[in-house]
Amino acid sequence: MFSHSELLELRLELDQAITYGTQKLALSIARQGLKLAKQKKILGEIDYFKGQMQILKGNYVIAMEHFDEAIKYNPKDGAAYNDWALCMVELGIIDQALEYFDRGIAVEPDYATIYHNKGWLLNNIGRHTEAIKCFRKALSLEPERAVTYDNLADALFNLSDYHGALEAYKKVLSLLKPGTCRGIRKNIRGQIKAIKARQ
């Protein structure tokens, strides 16, 4: 028997594929989600997975239209707000992106990904202290989230907190599954080496 929990699981798998996998894998998972949502006629989920497919293809305006529809069907879908905000970032609409992250946080305050992504944006626009608060909130909700430790390390490094950055990078390496993410591991080891050279 199919349930909403299966769609949630596909959403989580999709997030992992986008973060650590390939576009091909992410598109495959998005198609699975769309197929299941159509079978069960869950309109908000249909638009959510359609939006994901459009993001992966780089069609951000079309993706935003789908996330808008998903939110109409489920106003408490923090992920749809999150992904709408990410589309805005891709289109260079930064202030509104931050607003949409905040809207998503308001409707789904226990969704770690949205804090992570808001922190990522804040870090990229030079608001490192605010970014760290977002990353710490995400980690309070999902303590084993390697990608958030990676971004936290970057924000700490930007504030010249080399000790904190070093510890966060080490945490990333401890959380990644053995034999996976070779490119990420290599980059982090390079960062660790650069930090140690500064100390």
For the stretch 109-121, pLDDT in tens is 999 999 999 999 9
Q: How sure is the predictor about 3, in pLDDT bands with cuts at 50, 70 and 90?
A: very low
Quick one: CATH architecture of 1-108? Alpha Horseshoe (1.25)
Residue spans per domain, the chain: 1-108, 110-199
Lowest mean pLDDT among 20-34, 41-55, 126-140: 20-34
Can you tell me the mean pLDDT for 35-46? 94
Q: What is the pLDDT of residue 67?
A: 97
Q: What is the pLDDT of residue 97?
A: 97
Q: What is the pLDDT of residue 1?
A: 32
Closest C-alpha to 161, from 131, 121, 185: 131
Q: What is the pLDDT of residue 91?
A: 97
Closest C-alpha to 54, from 76, 30, 72: 30
- For the domain spanning 110-199, the CATH number is 1.25.40.10
- Whether the per-residue pLDDT at 4 is higher than 90: the answer is no
Residue matched to tokens 């091909």:
24
- Numbers of helices and strands, H then E, in the chain: 11, 0
What is the rounded average pLDDT for all residues in the chain? 93
Structure tokens, 113: 């990904």
